[in-house]
Structure 1
Amino acid sequence: MRIRIVTPAPPRSRTGNRITASRWLRILRELGHQATIHQRFSGQPCDLLVALHAHRSAADIERFRQSHPKSPLLLALTGTDLYRDIARYEVARHSLELADRLILLQPHGQRFLSQRFQKKTRIIYQSVPAPKRIPQRSKTTFRVAVIGHLRSVKDPFRAAMATRRLPATSKIQISHFGAALDSKMEQRARREMQANARYHWFGEQPRWKTLRRLAASHLLVLSSKMEGGANVVSEAIVASVPVLSTRVSGSIGLLGDEYGGYFDVGDTIGLKQLLTRAETDADYYKTLSSWCGKRKPLFAPKREKATWKKLLQEFSST
């Protein structure tokens, strides 16, 4: 099939949605389809459309449906779609009506969709290739990774704020990877580094370098206010790095309801307590590691490819 993937994220963007679109492009081509990525759908020859963003791609979804009324339309819902835009914007809700299938990156998000959309919802976990080796981790420093662009929705300085409350005996150091998307965020990151010896901001780095630093870390902290299913959680799990995350739907869907590494959104003290416990309580750290290890099969590339194959077979006769 001729498959077009539409994402508002521009080429060379390192945002999560562009990374997702690029990975799906590779999978679809491996499955034998003629797949391409576009920022907009403008009438290109197309047998099936995969659109990321109910709200931001709404015009493209409408355009495709008008020009291809009987062709399959798959809509991947992002975190901002699920947890904000669908409730806020009629145009986003209309996108759900037009789609033949809704793709979620984790199952917990289904709880935020009305019952009539459940039958056309499919779950595709984001896969991550297993690292060739897990690097030796420091025995003198407890390294904590924070990975994500500096955006308000990511609450990017929560881990840094938590480390300010740690005792002097703590060996925790924060390594933060991600671009500052405006000057205010950049200034705050630089001020934090000057005031907080535990915090180190490295800006945007090549993905391979970020993944290597993640694999060398003892923990990942995800402090987002909302997530559709952060790929970095999958990356951490596959690299055998346990996660401390805000108790948000996107993370619960990846880590499970009973995971012991959650803190509330904006809870600096709660995060500080979990950081201290992970550093000093070997049994707790082992429990987190063991739980995350059992989740690894969800993120195997073969699983994601098989899920896509099964989904596309639903339209093989159209």
Structure 2
Amino acid sequence: MNIIIITPAEEGSRAGNRATAMRWHHLLEQSGHHVSVLTEYQGEQCDLLIALHAWRSAKAVKAFREAWPEKPLIVVLTGTDIYHYQHEFPDVTYASMETADLLIGLHDLVSQDIPELYRSKLVTFRQSSEQPTAFAGSRSEPGQFHICVIGHLRDEKDSLRAGVASRHLPDDSEIIISCAGKPYTEEWREKALQESRDNPRFQWLGELNKAEIANLIAVSNVMVISSVMEGGANVISEACRAGLPILASDIPGNRGLLGKDYPGYFPVRDDKRLAELMYRTETDGEFLAKLRQRVMELADTFKPEQERQNLEKALALAVQKST
């Protein structure tokens, strides 16, 4: 098929929506489709359109349906769609859900957090990650217990929570926090710089490229995901494929990927509880091994081939629903 993917993230961006769009571009072309990735829809002809983000891509969804009322349309629900925009801007967000032939969610619990009216349109599957060339901790440095935080610096990610938590650690701890990501605003840039200046355990690395992220994971002993909301973070895929233990905020987007009984959760924005867990991973070898075993058990669910097959099933179902 001739497929258009709409993403609100500009070309060259390392935002999650752009990364998803480009990965799907690659996977779908592997299946023999012709795929274009655009930030706006201007009436281009195609066999099927995939819109990443119900709210941000609402204009594209509306324009495509008006131009091609009988062609299949897929809308991908992001974390901000599910946990923010459907409540703040329900008319626009629900209009995209209503218009779509098929909705895609990126963690297992999405159906619990959207209106029952749209659940029959929903399919869920996991984002994938390539097998890394170096596993987590393979390049770790003696005298340091390295914890990484990877993702754009923004309110939804609560990006500096691990840094704040590290201030509660005892003096004998060797934990160092490395935070990688582009600041969403100038205010976030200043906050990251200030934390780097004031906190000897914290370093902000700025925005890293793919190879640099892979190296950061290879030197890390643990990853922290402190998000307030997530639609299914791809860094979980990367961590699991690399065997990197995760400490995660207890939110649906993380539970929907790691499982309800995963032992590494902490309450949202609770830096003291996070500090306890970080120190436990450093000092309790059995606990760290248990976390590593759990992420390694999940690794196969994040394989690219599995995601490609799930995409193919979604395309077929969207075509079926549109006829």
The answer to whether structure 1 residue 287 and structure 2 residue 290 are counterparts is: yes
* Higher relative contact order (Cα pairs below 8 Å, separated by 6+ residues): 2
CA contact (8 A) 2:102 2:318 kept: no
Residue by residue, what CA displacement relative to the aligned partner does 1:103-133 show, whole Å, maximum 9, x if unpaired? 0111111101222322221112111011123
2:70 aligned partner? 70
CA contact (8 A) 1:215 1:236 kept: no
Residue by residue, what CA displacement relative to the aligned partner does 1:280-303 show, whole Å, maximum 9, x if unpaired? 111111111111111111101110
1:104 aligned partner? 105
Residue by residue, what CA displacement relative to the aligned partner does 1:192-246 show, whole Å, maximum 9, x if unpaired? 1121111011101112211221132110001111010111111111111011011
Query: Structure 1: 5+ residue runs without aligned partners?
Result: none
CA contact (8 A) 2:153 2:159 kept: yes
Distance in 1, matches of 2:246 and 2:304, equals 21
Structure-2-length-normalised TM-score: 0.95
Distance in 1, matches of 2:77 and 2:184, equals 23
Alignment of 1:1-318 (within 5 A): 1-89=1-89, 90-134=91-135, 135-315=138-318
Distance in 1, matches of 2:45 and 2:267, equals 47
Which consecutive aligned stretches of 4+ in structure 1 deviate over 3 angstroms post-superposition?
315-318
3-state SS in 1 of match to 2:109: helix
Whichever residue aligns with residue 223 of structure 1, its letter is S
Shift of 1:138: 2.9
C-alpha spacing 1:301/1:109, structure 2 compared with 1 (3 Å): same
3-state SS in 2 of match to 1:107: coil
C-alpha spacing 1:184/1:116, structure 2 compared with 1 (3 Å): closer
Comparing 70-79 with 136-145, which one deviates more in the overlay? 136-145
Distance in 1, matches of 2:97 and 2:117, equals 11
Shift of 1:99: 0.4
CA contact (8 A) 1:142 1:218 kept: yes
Shift of 1:149: 1.4
RMSD over equivalenced CA pairs, Å: 1.3
Distance in 1, matches of 2:307 and 2:183, equals 31
Distance in 2, matches of 1:300 and 1:313, equals 21
Distance in 1, matches of 2:117 and 2:156, equals 29
Whichever residue aligns with residue 125 of structure 2, its letter is I
Whichever residue aligns with residue 274 of structure 2, its letter is L
Distance in 1, matches of 2:182 and 2:311, equals 31
Identity of aligned residues (%): 38
Distance in 2, matches of 1:290 and 1:20, equals 27
Distance in 1, matches of 2:197 and 2:35, equals 47
CA contact (8 A) 1:75 1:102 kept: yes
Whichever residue aligns with residue 148 of structure 1, its letter is G
Residue by residue, what CA displacement relative to the aligned partner does 1:123-167 show, whole Å, maximum 9, x if unpaired? 121110111232332342110001111111111111011111111
Shift of 1:176: 0.7
Aligned residues: 318
Shift of 1:315: 5.0
Whichever residue aligns with residue 34 of structure 1, its letter is H
3-state SS in 2 of match to 1:37: strand
Query: Structure 2: 5+ residue runs without aligned partners?
Result: none
Residue by residue, what CA displacement relative to the aligned partner does 1:5-57 show, whole Å, maximum 9, x if unpaired? 00110000000110000000111111111110000111001110000111111
Distance in 2, matches of 1:79 and 1:256, equals 17
3-state SS in 1 of match to 2:206: coil
